[in-house]
Every structure is written in C-alpha cells, then in structure tokens.
Amino acid sequence: MYVTIVNSIIDRIQKRELEPGEKIPSENEIIREYNVSNTTARKVLQEIEGGGWAVKVRGKGTFVKDFVVERAATKILSFTKNMRDQGLAPTTKLLKKELLDTDVLITVSGKRYTIRKPVCKIQRLRFANDIPMMVETRYISQLYCPDIMKFNLEDSLYDIYQQEYHLSITKIEQDLSAVFLNEESKINFKVKDDIPGIKVDGVTFCGKDMILEGEESIYRGDKYKFSVQAVP
C-alpha cells in the first residue's frame, strides 16, 4: 500500500501538480486520505524524501525539492535517456535548422576539428518535465547522415544515427566551461536573473577519425551537475 501512495505523490510531482517548494501531503493528511496507519504514512514520507523528491523542514513539513540533473561527463549518454533514468519526462523543441555549404570548425582541448561540408546545423531547446534545461547547437555531417533533415529532428538524434544510418557512437570529446547566460539564453530558459550556465563544446565520433557531429551547447548551471571519475 505504501508503494502505491509513494508512486501517486511522485506522479503528482512529475506532472507539476506539486511545484518545487510546495508542501506535499503531511503524515496526518496521508492517514486520512488513504486510511492507513501512521507507520505507513511515515514510511511514505521517508521514501519520497530518500528518493530525492522532497526535503523535510523541521517543524514545518516536507516540501517538493527543486531537482538537479546529474550527468556523468565520462559516459556517453543521450539527453533523453539521462532524463528518463532520473524519472523526468524529456521533450525537445526544434528552434532552427539549415544546410551549410561550408566546413565547420570545432575546437576541443586546444585541438581543432573539421566537419566537412555540407553540414546540417540545428538548434534545439531541451526540456525536462516542461522545464527548459539546455540549448544545443549541433553540426551534423551530411557525409555520414545524408538527407537527415527529412527526419523529425525533435526525436533523439542518437536513435536516428543508429536506426536510420546504422552508426554507433565510439567516442565523444568535450570541453566544459562556466558562463553567464546571454539575453537569448535567458529568453529560451524563461529566466530573468543572472544565473550561471555550463558551456559544452564537443565532437562526436562514429569511428576512427570519423566525426559525426559537433556540438555547442549551454546547460543551465542551476539545474545541472556534472560528475567526473578519474583513475590512475
């Protein structure tokens, strides 16, 4: 029974029926609404808090936590899968797309990479639970993905690469740097305050020296945490 109640409250959080900072049902409210014991109600609140969905404030109650997405910088992981793994609903809005008849240069870790023309340039706004999370610009090689512009570019690009072109990603190289959001990013993210952003410049390979795409993205610094694992 407690699992059913936990899932019901989490579902309300995911659907934004309970907003960040809003109080979730108290122990007594859970007892009355679901006709359960105080032990079960207490376990429900502990489970929701332990799962990172809410935080308990002594003497005041338990409140919906404003989520922060964790992403491993050392792991190849699509935005879609990253969001779903953390219980969030990912969506994408295509802002721009165009075909460039020029080479595109991307610099990562001091090394300059060239994506040979023609190149498909797209800009997308990525959401988690309808909250804008990142703005990405991608430069996709037409050499490896001819006519990619005919596909729905609001879908997962990784799925398109694999299912339509039978390409597997072998390596991603990225630079991460801290920036402040410019006015265009603030509009896209629907924020007015000066909040930090995380700028990501990267290249994606589908084989040795085969550059599939380049990336220039801005992640919301108040919503993202990158983790890195180093080994000797």
Whether 71 shows a pLDDT value over 90: the answer reads no
The mean pLDDT of 118-147, rounded to a whole number, is 94
What are 120's two structure tokens?
A: 């498909």
What pLDDT sits at residue 95?
96
Share of the chain above pLDDT 90, in %: 54
In percent, the amount of the chain with pLDDT more than 70 equals: 99
pLDDT higher than threshold 80 for residue 149 = yes
> What would the pLDDT profile of 40-53 be if each residue is shown by its tens digit?
999 999 988 887 78
Round to whole Å and give the CA distance between 158 and 79: 9
Q: Which residues make Cβ contacts (< 8 Å) with residue 64, sequence separation at least 6?
A: 13, 18, 19, 20, 21, 22, 23, 24, 53, 54
* Residue 72 in this model has a pLDDT that exceeds 80: no
Residue 110's contacts (CB-CB under 8 Å, 6 or more residues apart) are none
The CATH topology of domain 2-64 is: Arc Repressor Mutant, subunit A (1.10.10)
First to last CA, the chain: 47
Question: Rounded mean pLDDT of 198-224?
Answer: 92
CATH 3.40.1410.10 intervals, the chain: 69-227
d(CA 81, CA 21): 26
Q: Name the most confidently modeled range: 4-8, 67-71, 222-226.
A: 4-8
pLDDT tens digits, one per residue of 150-190:
999 999 999 999 999 999 999 999 999 999 888 888 898 88
Contact between 119 and 215 under an 8 Å Cβ cutoff? The reply is no
- Rounded to an integer, what distance in angstroms lies between the CA atom of residue 89 and that of residue 87? 7
> How many whole angstroms separate alpha carbon 56 and alpha carbon 60?
8
Per DSSP (E only), the strands in the chain are: 54-57, 61-64, 69-72, 90-100, 104-108, 111-115, 119-128, 131-141, 171-180, 196-205, 211-220, 224-227
- Dihedral of CA atoms 140, 124, 128, 130 in degrees, nearest 10, equals -160
Instruction: Look at residue 55 in the predicted model and tell me its pLDDT.
Output: 85
Domain 69-227: CATH architecture, name and number where available:
3-Layer(aba) Sandwich (3.40)
Count Cβ neighbours within 10 Å for each residue of 33-48 and write b for 16 or more, e otherwise.
Answer: ebebeeebbebbbebb
Residue 125: predicted pLDDT? 96
Identify residue 64 by its one-letter amino acid code. V
